[in-house]
Structure 1
Amino acid sequence: MIDNEPPELPRGIALAWGVAANPQRGPKREMSVERIVDAAVELADAEGIGAVSMAAVASALGFTPMSLYRYVSAKDDLLLLMQEQATGLPPESHREREGWRPKLLALYAEQVLLYQRHPWILSLPITGSPITPNSSAWLDASLAALEETPLSAEERMAVALAVTGDARWCGIVQAGYTEQSRGTGLSADEVAVRESELYDRVITVDEFPALRRAIDDGVFTSPADPFRFGVDRLLDGVAAYIEALAGGASHEVSDEWIALDPVELAGDRRLKEAQKAVREAEKALRAAHKIERQALREARERQAKSRSAR
């Protein structure tokens, strides 16, 4: 007999949806899942995700760690609920924009701001599709923005994920600069200048010609937003694709995922040894190319000196 019963919701997800059973008994009524999560988010915002532990949260609330476990039975559940609360609902203002593109750009900007307010969210692993209410609301908003387009369901999801991914990548980089500023006391602009100076010391035109030209052109200290440029060009492509569909063109979403060979996932020892040998050979090749470039540069310098001496 086939069991068609749906899987039971993990407790963390059930708590997020408000369908988890309440503890039968516990400390004073002042304690609740909401208060626990509030305290944990406040701690993470102030000191980073590394400061969050059941003991630290209990201390902030004036209770013992064991009393917290009656409400949130595992730290992973607490992290899930923290992310859910910090994420919040997408702002209603994006619905006031006209057209799918302005709506998506508004959601993109709000997601970047969300990561700036709560950079610790970026440290949490992605373990699958968003199943909690607030995370689902953000995805729903992106899909709704594309609903009037001729894109298929798979294509709408692909665009929504691409914009969300761009916002997350922007958030990761900006959070890194913010952390640098906090640790060094430098402003974001000063951090960028220092970074450019460090690149300037190690990047040579012989070894990294394109990167060297970019440094000389001032890309690391430019006020331009490379992330917004990227998301704008992404949406340019989507707009062109939608226009082509309106003109009668047809396309198929690729079903070819980039994935490791199952043999690699199995951790075969001989394969790992062979891959290590390849990496070492590549490293040796890069070193040999560096020596070659150095020798070529010195030969050119000698030749130039010889010509000038004549």
Structure 2
Amino acid sequence: MTENEPPELPRGIALAWGVAATPQRGPKREMSVERIVDAAVELADAEGIGAVSMAAVAAKLGFTPMSLYRYVTAKDDLLLLMQEQATGVPPESHLEHEGWRDRLLALYEEQVLLYLRHPWMLSVPITGSPITPNSSAWLDASLAALEQTVLTADERIATALAVTGQARWCGIVQAGYTAQARGIGLSPDEVAVREADLYDRVITQDEFPALRRAVDEGVFTSPADPFRFGVERILDGVAAYLDARDRGESRAPVDEWIAIDPVELAGDRRLKEAQKTVREAERMLRAARKAERQALREAKERFAKTKGQG
């Protein structure tokens, strides 16, 4: 590759866009990338992402793993193609909504449904922007919803990512509850009641006062959707920001990412030992404070008892 040549597309992305070279030999009529991906998605939907391997997909199709490798040369490429197929394109129904906010909310709801239909997608690692046709179509739809606003390009992408991130977080939690419910034979509502009971047993007023009040107020068994509340408040913030822009007010852009110090990533032994010492000191401090609260509670009880006897 010369200095001016664009980088070659990775094979998985090339396959997704339909521009990868097809194998010259192999069971062409019986095998295709599409059939391989279909079989893999069926496996994942039925048994989870852990059930997907080149051998398992080959067995499902009645071929040898080597036959698959002529079409999909790596499992990472297969996962990319599975995610691409399961994602699909954003439904045109979101265009029936008026205004940027309602369109983004419609896209948010559809993304949550995607994760509920294919929870294994949440187990696929995020290794960068998914530069594939369907994933690009979803991002394009979110950006298009914001196109008539005065937001800058950076602000539009940030808003789209905030909504997408909230949909993924909602999917992670709901899929987790569903999996747990299936594993222990309870409904998701019954799992929530069981979880609330566990909180009730271990969360005390003196140690976690705010959380204790939340437990007593029934937040863990409430029918309210905290994720919808969260995304609505995100969009409230965007709307308020747009109003401020209309009034001529603006804030300096945030151009610094949260990042870990490279020194920590280098794995310095003395630094790791010091961090371990800090964690141990924090653990001991928590234990000491807990003992202090216990002693204070017992002292109050003794005082009240003595006062009552007097």
Shorter-chain TM-score bucket reads over 0.9
State the secondary structure of the residue aligned to 1:292. Answer: helix
Gapped regions of structure 1 (runs ≥ 5)? none
Question: 198-207 vs 40-49, which deviates more?
Answer: 198-207
Provide TM-score, normalisation by structure 2.
Answer: 0.98
Question: Post-superposition shift, 1:268?
Answer: 1.3
Distance 2:93 2:252 in 1: 33
Paired residues for 1:136-147 under 5 Å: 136-147=136-147
The aligned counterpart of 2:159 is 159
Distance 1:130 1:143 in 2: 16
Question: Aligned AA for 1:182?
Answer: R
The aligned counterpart of 1:302 is 302
The aligned counterpart of 2:83 is 83
Q: Deviations over 1:36-76 (max 9, x none)?
A: 00000000000000000001101110111110000000101
Provide TM-score, normalisation by structure 1.
Answer: 0.98
Distance 1:129 1:253 in 2: 22
The aligned counterpart of 1:275 is 275
Cα-Cα RMSD: 1.1
Q: Deviations over 1:220-251 (max 9, x none)?
A: 00000000001111100100100111111122
Identity %: 82
The aligned counterpart of 2:41 is 41
Question: Post-superposition shift, 1:16?
Answer: 0.4
Question: Aligned AA for 2:54?
Answer: M
Distance 2:253 2:129 in 1: 19
Distance 1:24 1:229 in 2: 53
Question: Post-superposition shift, 1:2?
Answer: 7.0
Question: Post-superposition shift, 1:130?
Answer: 2.2
The aligned counterpart of 1:150 is 150
Distance 1:128 1:253 in 2: 23
- Structure 1's consecutive aligned runs of 4 or more residues displaced over 4 angstroms after TM superposition are none
Q: Deviations over 1:95-140 (max 9, x none)?
A: 1110000000000000000000000000011111120111111111
The aligned counterpart of 2:183 is 183
Asked whether 1:130 is paired with 2:130, we answer yes
Distance 1:130 1:58 in 2: 26
The aligned counterpart of 1:68 is 68
State the secondary structure of the residue aligned to 1:205. Answer: coil
Is the CA contact 1:94–1:103 (under 8 Å) kept in the aligned structure 2? yes
Gapped regions of structure 2 (runs ≥ 5)? none
State the secondary structure of the residue aligned to 1:254. Answer: coil
Paired residues for 1:156-305 under 5 Å: 156-305=156-305
Q: How many residues align?
A: 310
Distance 1:81 1:155 in 2: 30
Question: Aligned AA for 1:106?
Answer: A
State the secondary structure of the residue aligned to 1:181. Answer: helix
Question: 140-149 vs 27-36, which deviates more?
Answer: 27-36
The aligned counterpart of 1:11 is 11
Distance 1:125 1:253 in 2: 29
Distance 1:76 1:130 in 2: 12
Question: Aligned AA for 2:283?
Answer: K
Asked whether 1:54 is paired with 2:30, we answer no
Question: 262-271 vs 57-66, which deviates more?
Answer: 262-271
